[in-house]
């Protein structure tokens, strides 16, 4: 048998919050602030957004490893944050998160149309998230009510290691019967999500304006002065650069044009 390069994409693996739903990725960030506040620890939205894209336990652990946050934690609680404290915060986070999902479940404008275009071209739609399965149940149900249903979903606690490890992306490859990782594109609004796709050997597309990095509502985004938006876009592109995404676009609405370019590159024998 002889190896043959894939000539077209077979699958798009999409993140959820900040990619397909919840423009600005507000649902997870506010809950981190509230969970820490219950212990008397002040946490800003900017700090909460820092490790976004990781599994939520790992996200909290990373926040607690921040020296400034750890110092505030020690002042409020009396000791430096341990893994047991992280688990306790995670357990506080979960019911708050489930309750908050409904407030931020709207589909990102243009998502349905873009995904429909990809399906018409024969692509399967995989998905994964930093949310655990119990939260994803709520996200999936609300997205279905709004007209979106992925072909497969992998939650962060359904694999041994979440992002930036490649396990969730690769679980989609296996479940959807994709013949080659080079025939997949991973789309995400966070650096850990891009690293996930990179580590899995896939094409990667970073979303600069719909998710965590910009952190604005769709209305705020569309009403931002062009020069200010250009400045923010440049800042976010520099933020994504170490993860080395193959493409950077504003929102998922721009994805079909990127898919066309990837298909052209695959047809020329290029690889991710």
Q: How far is 134 from 156, CA to CA, in rounded Å?
A: 10
Return the bridge partners of 125, or none.
12
DSSP assignment of the chain: ------SS--EEEE-SBTTTBSTT-HHHHHHHHHHHHTTT----HHHHHTTBTB-HHHHHHHHHHSHHHHHHHHHHHSS---HHHHHHHHHHHHHHHHHHGGGG-PBPTTHHHHHHHHHHTT-EEEEB-SS-HHHHHHHHHHHHHTT---S--B-GGGSSS-TTSSHHHHHHHHHHT-S-GGGEEEEESSHHHHHHHHHTT-EEEEESSSSTTT---HHHHHTS-HHHHHHHHHHHHHHHGGG--SEEESSGGGHHHHHHHHHHHHHTT---
- The confidence score (pLDDT) of residue 139 equals 92
CB 176: neighbour CB atoms within 10 A? Answer: 18
pLDDT number for residue 117: 98
pLDDT at 97: 78
What is the Cα Rg of the chain in Å? 19
**Residue that has been written with the tokens 């504003």 in this structure:** 250
Q: Where are the domains of the chain?
A: 11-26+105-267, 27-103
The topology (CATH level 3) of 27-103 is DNA polymerase; domain 1 (1.10.150)
**Mean pLDDT split into 10-residue runs, the chain, 272 residues:** 92 96 86 83 81 76 88 87 87 79 88 98 96 90 96 95 95 98 97 96 98 92 96 96 98 98 96 94
Catalytic (active site) residue 56 = yes
Q: What is the distance between the alpha carbons of residues 102 and 142, in angstroms, rounded to a whole number? A: 7
SS3 letters for 22-80?
Answer: CCCCHHHHHHHHHHHHCCCCCCCHHHHHCCECECHHHHHHHHHHCHHHHHHHHHHHCCC
Question: Looking at residue 63, what is its pLDDT?
Answer: 86
* Residue for token pair 């998230």: 129
d(CA 239, CA 134): 31
Find, among 12, 8, 45, the residue nearest to 27 by Cα: 45
CB contact at 8 A, 16 and 104: no
Q: Is 85 a catalytic residue?
A: no
**Beta bridge partner(s), residue 248:** 206
pLDDT of res. 254: 98
212 with 22: CB under 8 angstroms?
no
pLDDT at position 59 is 84
pLDDT at residue number 216: 93
Question: Does CATH number 3.40.50.1000 belong to domain 11-26+105-267?
Answer: yes
pTM, full prediction: 0.87
Q: Please give the structure tokens belonging to residue 117.
A: 């275009």
Closest CA to 127 of 252, 264, 248: 252
* Active-site choice (56, 100, 124, 186): 56
Predicted pLDDT at 53: 66
- pLDDT of 47 reads 84
């Amino acid at each position: 048998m002889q190896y043959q390069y894939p000539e077209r994409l077979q699958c798009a693996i999409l993140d959820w919050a900040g990619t397909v739903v919840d423009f600005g990725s507000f649902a997870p960030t506010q809950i981190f602030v509230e969970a820490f506040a219950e212990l008397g620890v002040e946490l800003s939205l900017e700090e909460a957004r820092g490790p976004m894209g990781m599994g939520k336990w790992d996200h909290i652990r990373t926040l607690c490893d921040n020296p400034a946050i750890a110092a505030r934690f020690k002042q409020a609680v009396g000791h430096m944050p341990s893994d047991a404290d992280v688990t306790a915060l995670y357990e506080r986070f979960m019911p708050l998160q489930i309750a908050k999902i409904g407030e931020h479940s709207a589909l990102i404008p243009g998502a349905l149309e873009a995904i429909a275009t990809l399906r018409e071209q024969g692509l399967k739609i995989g998905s994964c998230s930093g949310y655990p399965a119990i939260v994803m149940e709520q996200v999936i149900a609300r997205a279905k009510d709004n007209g979106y249903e992925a072909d497969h979903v992998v939650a962060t606690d359904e694999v041994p290691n979440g992002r930036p490890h490649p396990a969730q992306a690769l679980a989609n490859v296996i479940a959807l019967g994709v013949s080659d990782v080079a025939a997949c594109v991973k789309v995400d609004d966070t650096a850990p999500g891009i690293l996930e796709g990179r580590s899995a050997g896939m094409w990667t597309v970073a979303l600069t304006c719909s998710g965590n990095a910009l952190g604005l509502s769709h209305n705020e985004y569309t009403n931002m002065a062009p020069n200010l938006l250009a400045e923010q876009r440049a800042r976010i592109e520099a933020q994504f650069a170490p993860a080395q995404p193959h493409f950077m676009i504003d929102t998922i609405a721009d994805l079909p044009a990127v898919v066309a370019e990837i298909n052209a590159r695959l047809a020329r024998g290029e690889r991710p």
